[in-house]
Amino acid sequence: MSDIAQEIRDEKKTHVEPINYGRYVLVWLALIALTCVTAVVAGINLAAFTLVVALLIAVTKASMVVNIFMHIKVEDRIFKIFLGIAGFTILIIFTLTFMDVFFRR
């Protein structure tokens, strides 16, 4: 009987309230707005900072999708580890891209 009680307690600890539809709509609208900002920034000549701004917007949009739509906050630890590995890989790719753009002659 204690095993069942322990399982119920563990389940209550991991239970997270679902996100309401209003938040989904707000995040969706924010993603659309950031997409529009990306398109506008692409037409503005910011020299070398165009890439920086575009990548910052992309990272912001990706974090919104991962946290809200993919529910990474309530997933198991292994999913968070793999997400961290993927993020680190993208960070390396971004760093190499910046080095190529900024040190180009």
- Res 15 pLDDT > 70: no
Give the pLDDT confidence score for residue 10 in this predicted structure: 59
User: Does position 9 have pLDDT exceeding 60, yes or no?
Assistant: no
Residue 65 lies in a domain: yes
3-state secondary structure the chain: CHHHHHHHHHHHHHCCCCCCHHHHHHHHHHHHHHHHHHHHHHHCCCCCHHHHHHHHHHHHHHHHHHHHHCCHHHCCHHHHHHHHHHHHHHHHHHHHHHHHHHCCC
pLDDT of residue 28: 94
Q: What are the tens digits of pLDDT across the range 71-91?
A: 887 788 898 899 899 989 989
Query: Is 64 a domain residue?
Result: yes
Tell me whether residue 89 is in a domain.
yes
More confident residue, 25 or 72: 25
Asked whether residue 71 is assigned to any structural domain, the reply reads yes
Q: Is residue 1 part of a domain?
A: no
State which residues form the domain around 35.
19-102
Q: Domains in the chain: how many in total?
A: 1
Q: Examine residue 9 and state whether it is found in any structural domain, yes or no.
A: no
